[in-house]
Amino acid sequence: MEPRDIEGDLTEILIEEDEIRAKLAELSRRIEADYADKDVLLVGVLKGAVMVMADLARELQIPITMDWMAVSSYGSGTESSGVVRILKDLDTDLTGRHVLIVEDIIDSGLTLSWLMANLNSRGPESIEICALLRKPEAARVDIDVKYFGFDIPNKFVVGYGLDYNEKYRNLRSVGILAPHVYS
């Protein structure tokens, strides 16, 4: 759906659909070059990364494999709890694999730093991160993100996979949620 389909629920559109597409193309060219002679396993973090994963994977002009993990760091609200739980683990053995974690957004960074440590303990050959969005002002841990799309302000955003109470994931762009929706 488009912002006009949820009239009034956004205060601002931050990133348009075509900007996302252009950025994923740019990142894909770098990833193709970096993994030219390696088998890369894309690990998507459910559910937010579904759109990034689908578009990035199709944009990539090299063979890849995909697997998925579901972790919870947020309840139904808008604040990071710092507590991470695995809701669905990978099906793939990571021993000797080149892993590229695909994420929608890095907020405090707590989820990803926990995930990196967890996946690192499984004996992969390499692990890197690709995240579409990053909130620099919200960072609570330092994370080395090799491929990232856009830095955004420290506001709660929805769209392109990102939800509020499971809504707005199918919005094609990324926008700032109007406070009246959650207050």
Residues annotated as catalytic are 107
Which does residue 158 bind out of ligand XMP, Mg ion, none, counting CB within 5 to 8 angstroms by kind? ligand XMP
Residue 47 CA to residue 71 CA, distance in Å, equals 9
Check binding of 48 to Mg ion (CB under 5 A): yes
Residue 151 CA to residue 142 CA, distance in Å, equals 15
Task: Name the region of 111 (left: φ>0; alpha: ψ -120 to 50; beta: rest).
Answer: alpha
Closest CA to 156 of 174, 130, 131: 174
Q: Hey, which residues between 53 and 82 contact ligand XMP (CB under 6 A)?
A: 73-74, 80
Check binding of 149 to Mg ion (CB under 5 A): no
Check binding of 48 to ligand XMP (CB under 6 A): yes
Residue 65 CA to residue 166 CA, distance in Å, equals 27
Binding segment toward Mg ion, per CB under 5 A, in 10-18, 27-35, 41-49, 140-148: 41-49
Taking the least distance from each CB to ligand XMP, the nearer of 70 and 93 is 70
DSSP 8-state symbol, 39: -
Q: Hey, which residues between 101 and 140 contact ligand XMP (CB under 6 A)?
A: 103-112
DSSP 8-state symbol, 56: H
Closest CA to 82 of 125, 43, 111, 113: 111
Contacts with ligand XMP by CB under 6 A: the residue count is: 20
| CB of 103 closer than 8 Å to CB of 112 | yes
Site map (CB under 6 A) of ligand XMP, residues 142-171, x = contact: --------------xxx---xx--------
- The binding site for ligand XMP (CB under 6 A) comprises 45, 48, 73-74, 80, 103-112, 156-158, 162-163
